[in-house]
Structures are given as C-alpha cells and as structure tokens.
Amino acid sequence: MKTLKQLVLASVLTVFAFGTVQAGSMSVSGSIEISRTSGLSGNSNGGALGMENELSVTASTELDNGVGVAYKQSITQDNARNDSEVVFSGLPTIGGSIAMTSTGTPIDAIDNIMPTAAEEANHGAASFTQVGANDGTFGLRYKNAELLPLGITLDAMYFPQAGAGDATNDEAGSGTTNEYYADAYEVALSMPVPMIDGASLTAGYANTDGISTKRDDREEYAAAVKYTYGPLSVGYQKTLVNNAFKDAEAGGVAWVKGSMYGISYSVNDNLAISYQENESQQKTSQGASSGASTKQKSDGVSISYSIGGMSLAYVDNSFDNSSYTVDSNKDYKQIVLGVAF
C-alpha cells in the first residue's frame, strides 16, 4: 500500500508544482430514463411507471504547463448531490490522470464486464453481493494507459478512510470513521491478449485494512476474459469477496464467490441483443465452523435499440434462490426509454 500512496502523492505534487490557470469552460449534460418494471425489484402489484434523471455540470480549464483541470458535480431526481470529482489530466513526467472522486472505483468498474446489450443478468435483484464495497467513498484515483508495457492500462485508487462516504465540506471531509476498517486501496489492470485480435484480459484487487478484533483485511478479487469478433462478443468472469471475520458474527456474510458469462450480438449499428448467466454463492458466518452456503442463480436476455441520443431497452431476468433464499424463484422484467443530452 505504501508504494500506491507514494504514486498518488507524486501525481498530486506534479499538478501543483507549476503554472497559472487559463480561462476555462463550462458544460451541462444529463439523462432521463422512463421505465415500466414488474417483478421482484418493482412494486408488488407490478407494472408501475418510474422515472430516473440526472443532471451534471462540468467546469474545465488548463494550466500553463498543459495540465487539464475539470470539476464535475451531479444532481439526481431527489435533489441529492453525488458523483463529485476533480480530475487533473495530462500530468507531466508520469502521465495519465488523477482524480479526487467518489464516482466509482477500479474494481467496481469491473464488477461485471460481460457483454450485454442493456443490463446484466443480476439487474433487478432484491439482494446481490458483488465486488465494489468501496464505491461511493471519496478517494484519490490514478489512471494511465501508457505507463506500463504490452498495452496494459493501470487504474489505482487510495481511500484515506474506508466506508466514509462522499465528501461533503472542507471540515467534515469525507465522512466518519468505520468501526471495522481503516484505509483501503484498489488496483485494476487490463490488456489486449498478444497475437489474438479482439481478445482482452482484465484483473482487479481491493484491500481494506481491518482494525477491529473481529475482522482481518477485507479482500476483493475480479478476473475476466473477453473476445470480440465483428458483431459478436463473448466473455467469462470470476469474482470473490472475502470479509475475513476473525470470529462469529451471526448473520454476517463471510465470503461471496461469483461466476458469470455473457454473449452479445450487434445486429446493426442500432440494434443489439445479449444473453447472460450469473451465479453467486454466499456463505454466512456462524461461529468458527462453516455457516450456511446458498447459491443465487440468474439468467437473462437484453435487447436495445438506439436512435442518436435516445434508446429503448428491454430486460427479462429470472432468479433462482432469489436474495440467497432457498426455493425463492423470481422474475424481473423492465422496459426503459432513455434520453441523453
């Protein structure tokens, strides 16, 4: 973790070592989704209409040394501020970009990267555990697609306080302390497979420092392989979440193992269809011996059609042992009209 901290600190220092600010620009973007949902994650009577929208304001400028600076703030339909970030790009010497952000994390970005036309097979699940526990926590994120050989892209992030949430003001910072964990870091790497056009490998690791008598370091792993040939894409992925309990925490989740595969086909530039299967095995902690272990399985079809900034998507997912409850089988269907501007 010390090496990652040093890299992030060096990146920050290179930004502020020089230059004055030039005139900048500001832009507004957003999206609206109107949906009709039925099934386990919708209303019990099914068929209810919903609307989700987000508005983002981005301000950007460039320093005299060529370093770009951008600030983004998003507002959701309930007037909540989220996805706050400041990004410094075109860094001298080390290259890449560094962001002070709560918008995603390296391993959360690859929690399920299987090919899909619209949504994953676990979309709409009432309860589904996967990698990305630090998502929504304010931290320092460094990205570089040119630092490493063989076309490897690096995505690394450091969190001074795990589970602290978003930054709110200059005094409270990024929230409160956590009784189980201290700081955390994540690293994700992706690369093309040599001599196999269209094939790629992705891997990620997250470590959250355990500080209590009940838990060791929480670890998360993700690895995926994908192959694209013309309009056809296929992929397979494995994940693991290990909460590393030191003793009994009744009802707590000790670990979750995930596996998934997907296939998608682009009929033309506007129409795509996909199929995914997802299996998530969760083990609860019940003392020093093994607790209950349940597999939740899901599969689903997605279809999407786009016309410029407007899209229409249909998702049809089925769940066995929904919410890790044995013999609880559910269906989820959703149609979404989306507009981006």
pLDDT digits (tens, 9 = 90+) for 274-333: 999 999 999 877 544 556 789 999 999 999 999 999 999 999 999 999 989 899 999 999
pLDDT in tens, 111-159: 999 999 999 999 988 888 889 988 888 899 999 998 899 999 999 999 9
- Copy the structure tokens of residue 23: 């005139």
Residue 236 CA to residue 155 CA, distance in Å, equals 21
- Cβ within 8 Å of residue 41, ≥6 positions away: 124, 125, 126, 332
Q: Based on the structure, what is the number of domains in the chain?
A: 1
Instruction: Check pLDDT > 50 for residue 175.
Output: no
Angle at 19 between CA 16 and CA 20, to 5 degrees: 105
Average pLDDT in the chain: 85
Residue with tokens 């694209």: 228
Expressed in angstroms, the distance from the first to the final Cα of the chain is 40
The boundaries of the domain holding residue 103 are 2-340
Assigned token pair, 77: 């339909």
CATH number at residue 66: 2.40.160.10
Alpha-carbon distances, residue 310 vs 34, 240, 314 (angstroms) = 11, 36, 14
Q: Which residues contact 318 (CB under 8 A, 6 or more apart)?
A: 298, 299, 300, 329, 330, 331, 332
Residue 48 has pLDDT above 60, yes or no: yes
Give the pLDDT score at 16.
52
User: Which pTM does this prediction carry?
Assistant: 0.85
Share of the chain above pLDDT 90, in %: 56
Closest CA to 215 of 242, 253, 179, 245: 245
CA distance 321 to 299: 12
Nearest to 163 by CA among 235, 86, 243: 243
